[in-house]
Amino acid sequence: MTRLQGKVAVVTGAASGMGKAIAILFASEGAKVVVSDINLEAANVTVDEIVTNGGVSMAVVANVTKEEDIQNLIDSTVNTYGTLDILVNNAGIMDNFVPAGDVTDELWERVFAINASGPMRAIRKSLPIFTEKRSGIIINIASAGGLMGSRAGAAYTAAKHAVVGLTKNVGFQYATLGIRCNAIAPGAVNTNIGTTIYQPNEFGMERAMAGINLNPRMGESEDIAKVALFLASDDASFVNGTVVTADAGWTAY
């Protein structure tokens, strides 16, 4: 029997990269997967791949900075598939390595809106479903930047630290209600999040990249998807309120 048979999962930012890999792997393990992304056309490509391989999936466009989009995403999931079992908050952007001395309010607020407030809104909307049935799994994609001080700029670093704190808070507070909330902290992974880097700050990038030569290797999206599958499955029933680092040992130095 597949590990997620009969489960319903929502994955944000699932049109590409880690989100796409997670959606495809979850579907192959029996989950009905809602592929959410700001780019509906690209999200449908992920859906098509899942369906072609015998899975069940649909796309729902969502900008995670908009409360109405989050409401529609979860409502559409429940209306179509009857419930929600797994929420994966993957959507995120980088911050051009801008250090604190140069960060603008606009950049700070945009990075937090997508990387921290987006997961909070999706969790807030999903919790009533999970608490009612006393069962639910939340997986947040954090970052090595949420554990360490200088793997990105000030805004990204602070936002991913916020995701780690949110993960631990939700994990503990709702543990007795049958809900698990964990995060994954990927190291350097080959995804297209790099397309959100443009005109990087020279000073900030130099400081953030100071330890890149210590990175044992780059990861692939599928590496992170496998960790997400573990956290979503019953194999991780005793894992809650924590962060699983997946970085080939980069942050262990």
The catalytic residues are: 156
CA dihedral 62, 30, 7, 68 (to 10 degrees): 10
Beta strands in the chain (DSSP E): 8-11, 32-37, 56-61, 86-89, 136-141, 179-186, 189-190, 219-220, 243-246
Rounded CA-CA distance 165/32 in Å is 29
What is the phi-psi region of residue 90: left when phi exceeds 0, alpha when psi lies from -120 to 50, beta otherwise?
alpha
Question: Distances in Å between the alpha carbon of 212 and those of 64, 134, 205, 219, 224?
Answer: 30, 43, 11, 13, 19
> Which residues, 6+ apart, have CB-to-CB distance to 247 below 8 Å?
144, 185, 186, 187, 188, 215, 219
Answer yes or no: are the C-beta atoms of 113 and 65 closer than 8 Å. Answer: yes
